[in-house]
Structure 1
């Protein structure tokens, strides 16, 4: 877990489908190759961007297996492999077993299915899954099925010995700080890596020193990397921005143009994640960018009712024209045939 603690770009892996909504293995493999060559430090598979419905479609194990095999065959460096874990305790435990058998290093634990459970139940559930596989916590925003969790919950969660990281995606500064405070209060800052999933504050998360007071002394934590659906597209640029943000943070000098870049990334994310329509097209928007680049053949999602929100395509046009430096179109064009081979 050394590379996870050090910090990495971990794209949330989309799902490539044929027009008839069957798994398109060729393009699914091409996506994994793209992420490897773009410099990503790992892949998150079976997560929200992969579409939770892969479970009902019988695709959970095939999709995880294909990503693991492709990463092992294509990458010349170790890749952090993280599997999404969902459902009640029995289901999440089964998925952890599948992930572990395929060589995944950790599971990103969604608590969305336990929406009515109290925090004691959520901790018992988390402990049960952590007994099966190292766990990455997941604070999911309410707009896409998450719930509010207290700093006390995150203190108890971080105290679980096999918790190795937490992805913070509440899209809320107060609740992001609750997580960090919980990790510090649990005295887990050297074991639990912080990852941003706050697509509205990606670069600011990466350059901010979070200083909490414990026993009268300051404890500083940094968000080391990101596990993001936004980073499933334009990944080469994400890797470059992550490296730049980390270097600036370590130097203790954040240039104004990096702060300006944060606002541009946030604006672009608003288009990709369909903020105007309450995130209804947040998966489809990333698919649309990948389709325009040729990595995906079509916009097919498992739910035929799901797609781009009203006006979302025009918003993607707008941010693509306004911020061409955020796109990696030339990189994709240069390598696409090789990835599809």
Structure 2
């Protein structure tokens, strides 16, 4: 499917930029899918005001493919969203593995009704940039692509600005999630998209959980010869936004207003540090992100959305002292939470 075939309202939503949380996986004590709580999470995100859902991505756990849950989890999110809300919603499916696997997953996602695929390149670590571009072109022939610059600490591949120029030149690329957690590498992506002349088609989404609000407020100037091109992050596709999502939507609207008014309040810039502090606990930065998925689960468990923090891998859990760090940020930044919103609606979402 070419991106021009996407429902115009949804294509415009993706292009303008929106809030897209990376959807977690709700498991029971036997590490089996808990459909009731999986549906509750989807309903929570919709009522929080998100513009899209990313399912089958890192936060959903890539291992869902190994236990036969890829299609069921994608179907459950799509069906729940369609039944719960009639407003436009961008559905993004995670795609990974070698070319044959990624193409197969793209076909599955399209058959369910997903609009785009977020393409992980973690399986291409030993490939050249030419080989990776060929891989991306093959998957883009099946589904509109959202690029994914994932940080190396959790499996990402280091790529050049020229790679991103070539990637952005692929006609069916509609967005890039920029998540290297590195300002130099972030600029490489922006430079690449600008050099490709693709800013009108390729929307920049931040995945930099260490600088979410700064990415969403600051302009980025790129020099192309004697010309200056100004770029902006228009939205976010973030694991961090799988928690405290109603608050994240409000923050996103503040950033959007600041961009529109071309006046960025100092308090909004300062808020970036507080959000990053929360992320440091949720994503277990002290232990090289080992507990990043479990940390998000723990926040959702404390709110009652999840029953436990179980992951498919029994060795994947909170790191020592991570719970204490989560205690700290919940205490110090409680005003950034959406605990009251969740408490008010939890019974309805679980119903």
State the TM-score, normalized to the length of structure 1.
0.99
* Secondary structure, counterpart of 2:269 in structure 1: helix
Q: Deviations over 1:62-90 (max 9, x none)?
A: 00000000111111311100000000000
User: Deviation above 3 Å: which 4+ runs of structure 1?
Assistant: none
> Cα distance, 1:214 vs. partner?
2.2
1:266 aligns with 2:276: yes
Q: Which residue of 1 is the match for residue 344 of structure 2?
A: 334
1:92 aligns with 2:102: yes
Q: Which residue of 2 is the match for residue 103 of structure 1?
A: 113
Is contact 2:124-2:157 (8 Å) kept?
A: no
Show the 5 A alignment for 1:1-341.
1-341=11-351
* Secondary structure, counterpart of 2:312 in structure 1: coil
> Cα distance, 1:215 vs. partner?
4.2
Residues in 2 aligned to 1:247 and 1:194: alpha-carbon distance in whole angstroms: 17
Q: Deviations over 1:290-331 (max 9, x none)?
A: 000000011111000110011000000000000111100000
Residues in 1 aligned to 2:150 and 2:270: alpha-carbon distance in whole angstroms: 26
Aligned length, in residue pairs: 341
Residues in 2 aligned to 1:35 and 1:119: alpha-carbon distance in whole angstroms: 36
Residues in 2 aligned to 1:309 and 1:5: alpha-carbon distance in whole angstroms: 38
Residues in 2 aligned to 1:173 and 1:304: alpha-carbon distance in whole angstroms: 34
Q: Deviations over 1:183-208 (max 9, x none)?
A: 01001010000000000000000011
Residues in 2 aligned to 1:5 and 1:215: alpha-carbon distance in whole angstroms: 27
What CA RMSD, in Å, does the superposition of the two structures yield over aligned residues?
0.6
* Secondary structure, counterpart of 1:148 in structure 2: coil
> Cα distance, 1:259 vs. partner?
1.2
Q: Deviations over 1:147-191 (max 9, x none)?
A: 210000000000000000000000000000000100010010100
Residues in 2 aligned to 1:208 and 1:57: alpha-carbon distance in whole angstroms: 42
State the TM-score, normalized to the length of structure 2.
0.96
